[in-house]
Every structure is written in structure tokens, then in C-alpha cells.
Amino acid sequence: MRNEAGFWEDTKRWISGNVNIRSAVVFGSTARVLNEGMGIREGKSDIDIHVVSTSAKWIGNVDWNEEIGKGEFCLCASRTATGGVKRWSIIYSSSQIDMVVVPAIMMYMAKLGYRLGLHRRIRSLHVALNEMASCLRMGYVFIKGEYQWGGFYRDVSRLPGVRLVESEIVELANAAVCDCFWVLQKLERGELIAAQHVLHSRVVDTNLRLLREMRIRESLLLPSFGLGRNLESLLKPSELAAIRVSSLANVNDLETATRGALAELQRLVYRLCPSWSVSPKMTKLVSSTGPSSRHP
């Protein structure tokens, strides 16, 4: 089995020799390690790469067992990322590559739009470039294409990254209160799986987004991308207990977790947007909904 350093060298060679890849930038923890001059060591589990490619089609036909880490390939999966581009996860027994692949024409349009200042007026471009900026915050290293794309990456890295304005915070908060109410209704009916899904995928997701915004505003340490990353080491025990959702798939645990998540939502929003509040009628309705409301 290859070690991490050997896998990294294989990855660089593959990228450098691939005619379909116009540019490749490493970001995240691997970039930080490289920028600090420490070198890649065993124990670094994944390599995050932002790729500018001739197209988005060729990558689906790659024989990963032959390209990198021969004999170690385990799985390749793709999912849609911001802006409709594909993010590919290629897992080997010795390491993993997470690769965002952006077609060159799309990247050229983004570059032109930025130069014209359109990211200040076109929301989709604004979101895409700031998502990119958040990924680059920890640092980045070019493997290929710096001459052509270095200036653009440098400019984008100076953008504020993913942020929330007051109207977005209020919209998220109102929706999350609605979700909590929905969860409590479903718990009354014994629909535990549906309730658990919405609690985690919507309410907890909202709280993590609000927490990220709060920590950015307060200039507190935060990973460059990925909700919930490294919070166990960044938050105080009391803060971690407030944001953590711990529940088994039973009515009592889920109700306790939902009401706790709602309380944390209100605390976070109050710090970000003090003028927001849940109306007395909605507060009363939420309090009287849920399994425990049957036993005053």
C-alpha cells in the first residue's frame, strides 16, 4: 500500500499529464500543510482539488484503477455542487481525492463576470464566487495552470466568502421555526423517521449556517468550508452542547432535541439580528404542540 506522500506524487503526475485538465488548485488542509512547508504525511485523509477542465464529460470514463494508486481503487462517486458543477470523490485504500470539476467555458464566463463587476448584481455568480472564496480561505496551491488562472484565484480569494445578510437570516429563522413546528406535529403522530430527517437536514443545517456567520462576524476561528467541521475542537463545552443534537429514534429524545435546537436557533438569531423574534402566538402554538403537550 502506498503512503500518503506517494499518493500525492501520483496525483500530481496524473494531473500534470492530463490534457483534459487546464488548471488544478489544491485547497483545504492539504494546501495549508503545503504552504507551511511541512510536506504531505500519512494521516491526511483527503486531497481537495478545484479543476478547470476542457469539459465535464471525460471524467466519467476514467479508469481510476489505472490512473492513480494502481490496485488500490475502491469507489468513485459524483454529486452536484454549487453552480451545477460536479464534485467527484475518488476513494483509494491509501487516500481520497475530492475534486470539483468546472468546465473551462463556465470558468471563463465567471472570470469575465467578475472583471465586469457582475458578481455584485447577479446572485448566482455572487454565490458561486463566494463559495469558491470560502474554499480558498485556508490557502491554495497550484498544481497546474497558474499562469492563466493565478490572478483570478487571487482576486476571488479576497472576496468575503459565504455570508448571510439580515434578510437571509430572518428568512432562514422563520423557516426553521416552521420546521420545528412540523417536526413536533409529526412526533405527535408517531412519524419518527420523517421528524428525525427534517430535524437534522433543515433545523440543524440552519443552526450551523447561523453559527458560521456569527463566528465570521466575531473574527473567530472557523474551517474554510464545510458546515460542522472541527467544531469539537473550536467550541467551548457549553457552546458545543448547545449546537449538538443528540437523540435516538424515539419520541421523547426527538422532542427534547427539537426544542433544544429551537432554543439554540433563537439564541443565534438574537446575536445576529436582535430585532427578530417569534411571535407570542407562534410561541404558544409551538409550546402546545408535540407529545409532551398531552401531559401538562
Distance CA 67, CA 14 (A): 7
Question: What is the structure's pLDDT at 4?
Answer: 57
Question: What is the structure's pLDDT at 43?
Answer: 46
Q: What CATH number does the domain located at 166-294 have?
A: 1.20.120
Domains of the chain, by residue range, sit at: 4-157, 166-294
Question: What is the structure's pLDDT at 190?
Answer: 95
Q: What is the mean pLDDT of the chain?
A: 89
Residue closest to 16 by CA, chosen among 42, 41, 51, 46: 51
Could you write out the DSSP letters of every residue in 114-159? Answer: HHTTGGGT-HHHHHHHHHHHHHHTT-EEEEE-HHHHHHHHHHHHTS
Question: What is the structure's pLDDT at 56?
Answer: 77
Question: What is the structure's pLDDT at 176?
Answer: 98
Domain 4-157 fold is: Beta Polymerase; domain 2 (3.30.460)
Cell of 1: 500500500
pTM of this structure: 0.84
Question: What is the structure's pLDDT at 181?
Answer: 98
Dihedral class, residue 43 (left if φ above 0, else alpha if ψ from -120 to 50, else beta)? left
Distance CA 280, CA 271 (A): 20
Distances from the Cα of 146 to the Cαs of 141, 152, 296, in angstroms? 9, 9, 66
Question: What is the structure's pLDDT at 228?
Answer: 84
Look up cell 479508469; give the residue: 63
Instruction: Give me the residues of the chain with pLDDT under 70, please.
Output: 1-5, 37-45, 70-71, 223-225, 294-296
Hey, which bits of the chain come out as E strands? 21-27, 47-53, 73-80, 86-92, 96-103, 140-144
3-class DSSP state of 15 = helix
Question: 140-180, pLDDT tens digit by residue?
Answer: 999 999 999 999 999 999 999 889 999 999 999 999 999 99
